[in-house]
Chain A
């Protein structure tokens, strides 16, 4: 199997050490009965992919991996594990920043009891983007560490757990200098709740288009949508036990995939998550069509921040922005519209 970290230059040693620590901590927790399950990733059939892993024994814990091959977000799996969790033996999530924010959202929504989950916060260099691996553009920069990492991850602000005031779990104490040097120009410090993706430049460009050009832009992307609902599955804010999109009576969303229905799907999901998005970027990660969903939800979160003076729209709090109001809220339309 291809060494997972070979392309990461000096960060490879740091990641290898981190992996060893995670396996040790996980094995100990399981052996001592302090955890019912450790949720992380394990290596899969190629060196570029690590799949979600549910370690319930020390032997299984030895399979845990960290690093850029880890793709899928882990927070949603807590919903499947809930029946087996107790306060004495909770789930432990080997959490990158996006996973941590996902857990936070589930706990803030009272969907998962805070007693039933602990977070083992780890730093993250980003995940591999399959579309970059093996392409000519990828090969051209192959010598540079981070060449194959996803764009959303390159802009991530949740990279270092101590900067996002991680956790009620254990922080992994390692010398991570090499990891910090991996991506020149990458933000080393993230203000808590500032959001994983910083697609502001792209958003500004789209907002500057004419309405017709904007509609063309999104029509081209939404035409690629196959309505697999992977974005819904991956999103930690999307956890309704009965989803409106599955409703047949009334059929809020017909099953057809013509363009108006695609707009309807994305709009419904966007408005139902509005104010609750934690900026984890897993929707865009999960989309098999590569739709830049973070360009939509970062815009909505920014709007909420601007309209209602919410400092950190990505930060789960006791009140959701759309669940409260202020008598002095701005008018949605008319001459006073902001």
Chain B
């Protein structure tokens, strides 16, 4: 399902609905990679809202669920490649923590694709754009995140 990135973003039942993706990007790698995609004028869907964090290890799993409960259709957590964390080990802890959190979210009824963890370095502008593009397509195919009950939007 092709997503018209120029169209206005509507709500879940709008014919103009587009996925809304919240991306937690670590300051040192993935945020820099996103910035590089921008300065390189690489086009990627305007479906993502980037939140800069010092490290992927800062991302508390409850932030992922909070995003999903507050209108996000998917959450991306992007950090430095394992072994390259600016703080040494933050992304290792994130990897374990988010693996468990992802399984719990799935068990509670959220589609597994709504949490994605990807490692993107500061020089990987094209990879950042590809990640957003592929995630947008996957989530568009999934449909809007209805969440439990009437999700507050």
Contacts and interface: CB of A to CB of B under 8 A. Distances in A.
Interface in B97-153: 97-113, 115-118, 147-152
A215 B62 contact: no
Nearest to B91: A325
A275 B100 CA distance: 9
B89 interface: yes
A322 B100 contact: yes
A143 interface: no
Interface of B: 61-62, 65-66, 69, 82-83, 89, 92-93, 95-113, 115-118, 147-152
Given A214-B107, A214-B109, A329-B92, A300 B118 contact: no
Given A211-B106, A325-B95, 13 more contacts: A215-B109, A259-B148, A263-B148, A264-B69, A296-B107, A300-B100, A304-B100, A307-B99, A322-B97, A327-B82, A329-B96, A329-B99, A334-B117
Interface of B is mostly: helix
B130 to A, nearest CB: 13
A327 B83 contact: yes
Contacts, number: 118
In this complex, the member of A207, A217, A322 whose beta carbon has the largest number of chain B beta carbons within 10 angstroms is A322
A290 interface: no
Interface in A72-111: none
Nearest to B114: A211
30 contacts: A207-B107, A211-B106, A212-B109, A214-B108, A215-B108, A215-B109, A218-B108, A218-B148, A219-B109, A222-B148, A260-B69, A263-B69, A264-B69, A267-B65, A267-B108, A271-B104, A296-B104, A299-B107, A300-B103, A303-B103, A304-B100, A308-B96, A322-B93, A322-B96, A322-B97, A325-B89, A325-B92, A333-B117, A334-B116, A334-B118
Interface string A297-336: 0011001100110000000000001100101011111100
A168 interface: no
B102 A333 contact: yes
Given A258-B149, A270-B104, A216 B109 contact: yes
B62 A218 contact: no
B92 A330 contact: no
A interface, how many residues as a size bin?
A: 35 or more
Nearest to B118: A334
A46 B106 CA distance: 43
A35 B145 CA distance: 57
B82 to A, nearest CB: 6
A332 B95 contact: yes
A303 B116 CA distance: 18
B114 to A, nearest CB: 9
A321 B149 CA distance: 33
Contacts of B112: 333
Contacts of A268: 62
A331 B99 CA distance: 7
B100 A307 contact: yes
